[in-house]
Structure 1
Amino acid sequence: MRRQDIQLLALARQGDAAARSEAGRRYLVGGDGFPRHVATGMEYLSHPSVRDRIETARTIAESLPLQDLLQLQQDEALRKAAGAGSLLAQFKLGVWLCLQHSRVDAGLSWLEAAATGGHVEARQAVAALRQARAADALPAMLRGVSGSAAVDVAQVATMAARQAREGGSLDLLLDCVHAALLLAPRLTHGLSDLVVAAVLLAEREGRELRGLLPEQVEASLEMAIARGERDAACLLGRALCGITHSGLSPARLATGSNMRKGVALLLRAADGGRDDAWLDLYAMHSDHRLSVSNPQLARFFLEKAATLGQAEAQRKLGALALRAATTLAESEQAIGWLHAAAAQDDAHARRLLHSLVLPVAGDEATARSAIEQLRQSDPWLAMRLTLARDFGLTKLEALSVDPAEGRRPWGLLVGRNPFITQARLSAPRAVPALTEQAAQNLARAASFFEQSRGDSNAFEGDLRRRSVRQRRAFERLGLTEDLFFAEASSTQLESFRLGPKWAFRAKKPLELALAS
């Protein structure tokens, strides 16, 4: 280093503001005997004695290319220098504002100011804008300045896209990514991340992609998958299988279809934690028209999705299991799945559960008032009548059911009636709880009957005695049986116990539950 350079540094360290500014400038540009070292230059120029000067802002804005200014968060210095009349700063700021907002008019005034002042590249940019159509104005302007040493347009466009991603604006992100892809010589990992981010944002918002070519999206997803990203595997897997999800058309994500590769990617995504991919795998393997059709594997995927808490999978698994149920255990398990789906506000599951409960006529308020009157003299009968209305029980079922033994997480199991000899009338039946209130009433009844089991047997007696007490209570209060008990023939009750018969009776809601 020359003697005068050493003297300049000595003056800068002693607090000479002019020397500090000059040393900072030389480090930024790397000239006049100084090596280029941006960090050291910024350290000199950020000292309190010089950092607020307009000259310092001009030095920073004119010495560094736009991408470096943005990386060092020197936006304010760029604006100060542009406002102070620096043509180079005006040019850089104009380009950045156009990219940042994806609108030419956002930075046009600065570009025109620099062009008027004689800045050659700004004149090229303005000329390109005037010759282009409105829809192609921004790409034309960017191509016009793509050879500038002051701006690496592809890198700056990528920075604008990252900023748009952080802001959560899909339209702005797509515009910025589109501009970056137009100018970048090849697809980089950074650009592929931005493309994947745009696709995920479009999926989350239920919107279609625009401005991105399918081959660009597919290549970006492939790069992300190679890094182990499960979301990218799920997106490309769906596209290759022809699945439209959240408004994303497969044709916008991939150049063609490949069922086996798509299924493999979906399995990879599901295994990596994308629980919704299990349902996609079920849909592919349950379709007999597809080459990957496999009913046993489809059932496995559906059970995986249901176990992980997906309401749609729980509803479909419950509906399929109930349709095929021939035993009480199978019916109970199926109703359990439907109940889990209904707890997540699945309307189709609620309709299927309603199809398993017999209707009870009569005014709710009148029935509850009568039950409260009975509770004082016969609490056991009051509990039975409450369950009869909540679960649509027949008179025989209501007077013989054991709430303590029959309570289930999903509702009530009306056990085999020991007082009835006819098999079709005495067979057990599973009845779901349609409301939270019904479940709470069942819990109270189960607790009450469990605690008073000895007293209950002595007080209630057999079915005949219970029936007499019920009839006398109704006569005393002027009540009718249809206010509390459901009416059903043995044939109707049989359809609740066998899945195929229930499926025939509930054909319409069942079809909707499996199709949706």
Structure 2
Amino acid sequence: MANREELLMIRAARAGQASAQLNLGRRYLFGGAGLPKSLATALYWLDRAAQQDEQDAWLLIGRHVPYETVRQATHPSKLYVWYERAFDAGVAQAGLVLAKLVLGQVDGAVGEAMREKALRALHAAAQAGIAEAQWLLAQSYGHMDAPALDRHADDEHRAADDKAMLEWAMRAANSGVLDAQYALAEHAWASGQRDEFLRWALPLALAAVERIAAPGDASKVDVSLAGRCARALCEAGEFGADVPRLLEFAARAGESGAQLSLGLWLARMDSGGKRVDAIPGPANYKKGIRWLLAAAEQGEADAWFALSRIYLKAECSQRNLTDARRYLERAAQAGHGLAQLELGTQLWRHRREDELNDVRALRWMQQAQAKGVAEAAQLIGRIAAPPEPAPWAQDILPRLTREITDLYPQLAARIELAALFGLSRMEALLIDLKAADQGQCLVVDVRAHHPHSKRRLILVRSAAERQTLDRLIGVFEHVDCGPDGPEGNYRQRLYRLKMLERG
């Protein structure tokens, strides 16, 4: 409860006495006696005193009333004049609040001269060692993950801006600003500077592990940071106790990459299935499988492939060749290049068990090649060799007039097909084009008519070939291609072909 002296002060302040307003504002600013500490009330009275030219009023505002309190005022933009005066009087803290008030305004709300002064004030506050000002100044250069106050878009200034940004961010980080430390860690990760990343990120990640009891309560930033730290430590050859702690923290929070890495760590292997001797202790395949399955279900193709390797290991108590094959197929379907190569190789080796295995093998090999697996190209050449020229078809092709094409459309299509894919006369005349088209390749198989002929695959190598093939297939649509159809039997087709060759 206010005492008699304070009651008289309140009455005088309400009556407009400047000194009373100043003293009342000071009492609310620091609290004491019968008046509670209230920054908002202090600002109200100090503002009224400052309007009556009480210098100590705006000095107190500049030194002690933070931005958060000013922001809650009815008209905060009308108050920055006191911070401007305090800054001009040498109060560095006032420069920080002035910068936040002015630079936070939309363009046009304040004049350019005032914006420039606010930037100078921010620099002065940062130079004075105020950590918040240092971080705000770093953000002002426009590359940190926080609201920018002023962006320098000129390319010629970008290198200088980046240097200044990092300098002020490091000062702020060294002063204990967590946002700056997180931002520097992110910047180092994106730049590939793993040592610098660990410098900032590892203490933050370990602190998060200690601080957060349930990983499910962790923020996405902390979870990602923990997983990245573990991977960076492994890349640096450091396999200490911090790695599994960080991985388990991120894995339990549901990060698929951490689940994959933890599963591999527990299995003491890399993503290709090879033993990693640098990881201490024996492998725990049972726990490793659990985490790898969790990662795989979230779309980690490497996890499916790692599972296929584990189930092939003789030392694994759960060894199962059927499961190994099943997981290999899941990895290939998820886009894992090495899994696609291996699955294609297996299908090619067992092509006699199912004659379509060669087509399936080619499909997987092509997908592996698209993923950058160099070995796939060699095997593709073995499965589907490039077509050899067909001079006989190339000689006839120019003589296929519109009249001949209209008279014998299927024969003309077969000749064009032979010229495009290098077919022999027999293959061209007997191939069932609709059945032969397998999308990425053409299956040339006329053994039903000529048992001694060989089945072979020919790649469809370009969009132009695909377009031509689709057009030729259209010629045979709704047409009986058997001996009772319009083309007749093989002898009749061969007779017409020879007539064309003779001209």
TM-score tier by shorter-chain length is 0.5 to 0.7
Residue 50 of structure 2 aligns with which residue?
none
2:250 is equivalent to residue 224 of structure 1: yes
In the other structure, the counterpart of 2:198 is: 174
1:270: Cα distance to partner?
A: 0.6
Give, in whole Å, the separation in 2 of the partners of 1:6 and 1:318. Answer: 94
1:412 to 422, 429, 442: 442
Deviations 1:102-153 (A, max 9, x none): 9999369999xxxxxxxxxxxxxxxxxxxxxxxxxx9xxx6xxxxxxxx6x3
Cα contact 1:240–1:261 (8 A) shared by 2: yes
1:50 aligns with 2:111: no
> Which residue in the other structure is 2:56 paired with?
none
Residue 439 of structure 1 is matched in structure 2 by 466
Alpha carbons of 1:346 and 1:337: their partners in 2 closer, same or farther (altered >3 Å)? same
Q: Distance in 1 between matches of 2:297 and 2:118?
A: 49
The answer to whether 1:197 aligns with 2:218 is: no
For residues 19-58 of structure 1, what are the structure 2 equivalents within 5 Å?
Answer: 33-35=36-38, 39-40=68-69, 42-44=71-73, 47-52=76-81, 53-54=83-84
Is 2:302 the partner of 1:273? no
The question of whether the paired residues in 2 share the 8 Å contact of 1:372 and 1:382 is answered with no
Aligned-pair distance for 1:88? Answer: 6.0
- Deviation per CA, 1:392-415: give whole Å up to 9, x if none: 544322221111233233433345
Which structure dedicates a bigger proportion of its chain to helix?
A: 1
TM-score normalized by structure 1? Answer: 0.60
Residue 184 of structure 1 and its aligned partner are, at CA, apart by: 8.7
C-alpha displacement of 1:297: 1.0
Kindly provide the amino acid, as one letter, of the partner of residue 201 in structure 2.
V
| Partner Cα distance (2:394, 2:492) in 1 | 24
- Structure 1, unmatched stretches of 5+, are 112-137, 143-150, 477-516
Q: Give the corresponding residue for 1:106.
A: 167
C-alpha distance 311-350 of structure 1, shift in aligned 2 (>3 A): same
- Say whether the 8 Å CA contact 2:209–2:246 is kept in structure 1: no
Structure 1 pair 251/363, CA: closer, same or farther in 2 (3 Å)?
A: same
Does the CA-based 8 Å contact 1:50-1:56 persist in structure 2? Answer: no
Aligned mates of 1:77, 1:355 — CA distance in 2:
71
Deviation at 1:447, TM superposition (A): 1.3
Q: Match of 2:299, SS? A: coil
Pairs within 5 Å for 1:36-115 = 39-40=68-69, 42-44=71-73, 47-52=76-81, 53-54=83-84, 61=93, 80=121, 83=124, 87=128, 89=130, 106=167
Overall identity of the aligned pairs, in %: 23
Per-residue deviation at 1:391? 4.3
CA 222–259 in structure 1, closer or farther in 2 if over 3 Å, else same: same
1:404–1:446 contact (8 Å) kept in structure 2: yes
Alignment partner, residue 57 of structure 2: none
Give yes or no for contact 1:98–1:107 (8 Å, CA) kept in 2. Answer: yes
The 1-side partners of 2:276 and 2:8 are apart by 65
**Cα distance, 1:357 vs. partner?**
3.2
When residues 268 and 160 of structure 1 are mapped into structure 2, their CA distance, relative to the original with a 3 A threshold, is same
Aligned residue pairs total 417
Paired position in structure 2 for 1:160: 181
CA distance in 1, matches of 2:171, 2:388: 77
Measure the CA separation in 1 of the matches of 2:25 and 2:237: 46
Q: Give me the whole-angstrom Cα distance separating, in 2, the residues matched to 1:358 and 1:45.
A: 80
Q: Which has the higher contact order (CA 8 A, sep 6+)?
A: 1
1:355 aligns with 2:361: no
Alpha-carbon distance in 1 for matches of 2:278, 2:22: 55
**One-letter identity of the residue aligned with 1:268:** A
| Mapped partners of 2:337, 2:170: distance in 1 | 55
State the 1:232 CA deviation.
1.6
Does structure 2 retain, via aligned residues, the 8 Å contact 1:414–1:429? yes
Q: CA deviation at 1:34?
A: 0.5
Q: Is the 8 A contact 1:79 1:93 kept in 2?
A: no
Q: Output aligned runs, 1:290-439, within 5 Å.
A: 293-325=319-351, 326-341=353-368, 348-362=375-389, 370-374=396-400, 376=402, 377=404, 378-420=408-450, 423-425=451-453, 431-439=458-466
Return the TM-score normalized by structure 2. Answer: 0.62
Shift of 1:275: 3.3
**Inter-partner Cα distance in structure 2 for 1:40 and 1:442:** 74
The 2-side partners of 1:434 and 1:80 are apart by 66
Change (3 A) 1:253 1:105: farther
Q: 1:387/1:213 Cα in 2 relative to 1: closer, same or farther (>3 Å)? A: same
Contact 2:362/2:380 (<8 A) preserved: yes
CA drift of 1:333 comes to 3.8
Change in CA separation of 1:221 and 1:259 when aligned onto 2, cut-off 3 Å: same
From the superposition, tell whether residues 25 and 381 of structure 1 become closer, same or farther in structure 2 (CA, over 3 Å).
Answer: farther
- Tell me the alpha carbon deviations over residues 359-408 of structure 1, each in whole angstroms, 9 at most, x when there is no partner: 544499x9667524336425434422343354454432222111123323
Counterpart amino acid of residue 447 in structure 1: G
